[in-house]
Chain A
Amino acid sequence: MPEMSEEYVKRLPKSEELNAMTEQSLRAAFAGESQAAEKYVVFAAQAEEEGLPNIAKLFAAISFAETRHARNHWRVLGGIGKTADNLQTAFAGESFEIEEMYPAYAEIAKLQANKEASRSIRYALKAEEDHKRMYAEARQAALRGKDIADQPVSVCTICGHTVIGDLPDKCPVCAAAKEYYRTF
């Protein structure tokens, strides 16, 4: 895998001690690149629907380029640790979204009677609960130097519901049929 080869890694920007303003800049750039990458993936799907497959391919390619920038900035920020630490970081992020962010957003969307926003928030909140549990279990394994079991991980392409093992007949969160899941 080229991503791990020495030839490849030596060209990547490395983690370094950052001054505060440069760190702030890189954090903003990481946010911008991450969002651009997601937008372009969605724009690719839209182009495909309009019968423009080559433009779809272009958006997919440029999305990939933006993921390279996001990864580079994140490396320089020192954001990539050992897997046990990364699982802890991931667990903490999911916990914040479950306990603070999405409940607050859901309350406001409800107050403002924004039904579609409420649905988008509910879908995310539900899935983050799955993720938090999975990350906690994986971290326990990684702390003992062990991998998790070799089982399929499947994701609902509509709402992000995430399940390890057998697929349900339909998504318990958004009711999409099991054909809508993507398996990893």
Chain B
Amino acid sequence: MAEPFMNTPPKPERLGAMTEENLKAAFAGESQASQKYLAFAVRAGEEGYPNVARLFAAVAFAESAHARNHLNVMGGIGSTADNLKAAFGGESFEISEMYPAYSAVAKMQGNAEAVTSIRYALAAEKDHQAIYEATGKKVVGGADLDATPVRVCPVCGHTIVGEAPDECPVCGTAGQFFRSF
């Protein structure tokens, strides 16, 4: 988990406005490239190209390193208490603004699969918001979470602290498929 990278990656600095804008765009680009390559890796595995799948997975990891570097230069990595607050803020925006608006548009346009993809995400962001809020309170009190496993539905992203349900309440996937962290 803890990568031994923290000694030499690029550091936070005071940025010119245009450079900051560019790093934001580069962070967005690297993050999306990484996710695309992970999806491409799965597809390559399905098509019987295990080594191409491995190449995609490796390059996805490289893009993650770039994303992390850009984020760090922008001062985007704070203390865990601050990071939990930032995470809570991001989830709150998605729940109260972004996904309801996207969902309304997708429904109006009759794009059923888009509605499903948005519904899965919105439901999980609500889990995340609640978990981040509770965790933030603990950290401000100087405590870690307890060691209860966190389980995630690999189809819709539904997230729970504790035992997996028999079946995902959001998308119906069997609990045995949940990934445990």
Residue of A nearest to B46 (CB): A4
Instruction: Check if B49 sits within 8 Å of A155, measured CB to CB.
Output: no
Interface residues of B in 35-55 (CB under 8 A from A): 35-40, 42-52, 54-55
| A43-84 to B contact mask, C-beta < 8 Å, 1/0 | 111111111111111111110111111111111100111110
Residue B23 interfacial (CB < 8 Å): yes
Once A38-B27, A76-B114 are accepted as A-B contacts, the answer to whether A112 and B16 lie under 8 Å apart by CB is yes
B55 CB to closest chain A CB (Å) equals: 5
Instruction: Check if A62 sits within 8 Å of B159, measured CB to CB.
Output: yes
Give the chain B neighbours of A169 by CB distance below 8 A.
none
Instruction: Name the one of B69, B106, B120, B127 contacting A124, with C-beta atoms under 8 angstroms.
Output: B69
Task: Tell me whether chain B's interface is mostly helix, strand or loop, or mixed.
Answer: helix
Residue of B nearest to A20 (CB): B109
Tally chain A residues at the interface, Cβ within 8 Å: 124
Instruction: Check if A45 sits within 8 Å of B3, measured CB to CB.
Output: yes
Residue B4 interfacial (CB < 8 Å): yes
Task: Tell me whether chain A's interface is mostly helix, strand or loop, or mixed.
Answer: helix
Interface size class of B (residues with CB under 8 A): 35 or more
Residue B164 interfacial (CB < 8 Å): no
Once A22-B111, A31-B32 are accepted as A-B contacts, the answer to whether A43 and B121 lie under 8 Å apart by CB is no
Instruction: Check if A2 sits within 8 Å of B71, measured CB to CB.
Output: no
Instruction: Check if B120 sits within 8 Å of A93, measured CB to CB.
Output: no
Give the chain A neighbours of B45 by CB distance below 8 A.
1, 4
Residue of B nearest to A7 (CB): B174
- Give the CA-CA distance A53 to B148 in the complex, in Å: 11
| A1-26 to B contact mask, C-beta < 8 Å, 1/0 | 11110011001111110110110011
Instruction: Check if A148 sits within 8 Å of B51, measured CB to CB.
Output: yes
Interface residues of A in 80-119 (CB under 8 A from B): 80-83, 86-87, 89-90, 93, 97, 101-102, 104-105, 108-109, 111-117, 119
Instruction: Check if B51 sits within 8 Å of A150, measured CB to CB.
Output: yes
Residue B140 interfacial (CB < 8 Å): no
| B62-102 to A contact mask, C-beta < 8 Å, 1/0 | 11111111111100111110011011001000100011011
Instruction: Name the one of A57, A127, A157 contacting B5, with C-beta atoms under 8 angstroms.
Output: A157
Instruction: Name the one of B44, B59, B111, B173 contacting A18, with C-beta atoms under 8 angstroms.
Output: B111
Instruction: Check if B83 sits within 8 Å of A120, measured CB to CB.
Output: no
- Give the CA-CA distance A35 to B103 in the complex, in Å: 20
Of the A-B pairs whose beta carbons lie under 8 Å apart in the complex, a sample of 8, sorted by A's number, is A15-B113, A19-B110, A32-B94, A34-B28, A36-B90, A45-B6, A54-B144, A64-B157
| B115-159 to A contact mask, C-beta < 8 Å, 1/0 | 011101100100110011001000100001111111111111111
- Give the CA-CA distance A147 to B44 in the complex, in Å: 9
| B1-37 to A contact mask, C-beta < 8 Å, 1/0 | 1111110111111111011001101111111111111
Instruction: Check if B139 sits within 8 Å of A52, measured CB to CB.
Output: yes
B117 CB to closest chain A CB (Å) equals: 4
Instruction: Name the one of B5, B83, B101, B124 contacting A43, with C-beta atoms under 8 angstroms.
Output: B83
Once A46-B77, A62-B159, A160-B66 are accepted as A-B contacts, the answer to whether A112 and B15 lie under 8 Å apart by CB is yes
